[in-house]
Structure 1
């Protein structure tokens, strides 16, 4: 994200969206750094109706930067006892399906011993993702089959290969792209 761009966490209390956390690039976070953040909603501050919702919003410019949000846990307290809801909390809104193909740089990069590769599809497509060493020898096939429209992540556990430069190639029905990755020992 560019300097001074931000993203925020909002809570819907059944009647309005309320911002509960804001992060500004350069002040609240830096690019290419992983963070663990806890956002608390103090008891008595908001109501918790059955239709309560959380969302993550961003006002980034029209660039190809990515913000990855992972391992979200919701915990609450009822009469002093901790409660946790492990239900499926993610839903795909049709307007959030990407309008174009994109193949992100793996993260982290350099990496040790595993990395995540992200790509977006504007429509369902067959996808093949392969990893090659510097000599062009295929060392892994990470995906080979149909994928729905949307944003997808695949993970490479680089076991049994030496440290060095590797190339990750994605091939869809209409696109081919390659990214360079560096595995550290």
Structure 2
């Protein structure tokens, strides 16, 4: 996978951001939002099949229970093809 394959636009964001990532081959992925303390805040994708190439999805700045998260940096952790890559997004209120 390319080095910088997980990106968020706009960044910083409020209220939502588009997460873009590139896969060299089709496969199952997971995409999680982790706060700076290392806590899982939301699972955006869990074991879904995505095609090779560029994909994107939206994140509304909410946690897994639907609550709005506070301002801060969040890590976007993508797992695919046995690799883990991360990008980050900054939520500003």
Q: Report the CA distance between 1:180 and its aligned residue.
A: 2.0
Q: Distance in 1 between matches of 2:41 and 2:6?
A: 20
Residue 161 of structure 1, aligned match among 46, 59, 69: 69
Q: Distance in 2 between matches of 1:146 and 1:137?
A: 25
Q: Which has the larger radius of gyration?
A: 1
Match for residue 65 of structure 2?
A: none
Tell me how far 1:174 sits from its aligned partner. Answer: 3.3
- Unaligned segments of structure 2, at least 5 residues: 63-67
Return 5+ residue gaps in structure 1 as ranges: 1-99
* Alpha-carbon distance between aligned partners in 1 of 2:43 and 2:61, rounded to the nearest angstrom: 11
Matched with 1:30 is none
Structure 2 length-normalised TM: 0.83
Deviation at 1:105, TM superposition (A): 2.1
1:173 maps to 2:81: yes
SS of the counterpart of 2:8? Answer: coil
Q: What corresponds to 1:120 in structure 2?
A: 22
TM-score (norm 1): 0.44
Q: 1:95-121: per-residue Cα shift (whole Å, max 9, x none)?
A: xxxxx5451321111000111111111
Q: Of the candidates 131, 141, 146, which is equivalent to residue 43 of structure 2?
A: 141
CA contact (8 A) 2:6 2:78 kept: no
CA-CA distance at 1:168 after TM superposition = 0.7
State the Cα distance separating 1:125 from its structure 2 match.
1.0
Q: 1:23-42 counterparts in 2 under 5 A?
A: none
Which protein is richer in strand relative to its size? 2
Render the CA deviation track for 1:131-157: whole Å, top value 9, x for unaligned: 011111111111121111121001111
**Which of structures 1 and 2 has the larger relative contact order (alpha carbons within 8 angstroms, sep 6+)?**
2
CA distance in 2, matches of 1:119, 1:179: 10
In the TM superposition, residue 173 of structure 1 has moved relative to its aligned partner by: 1.4
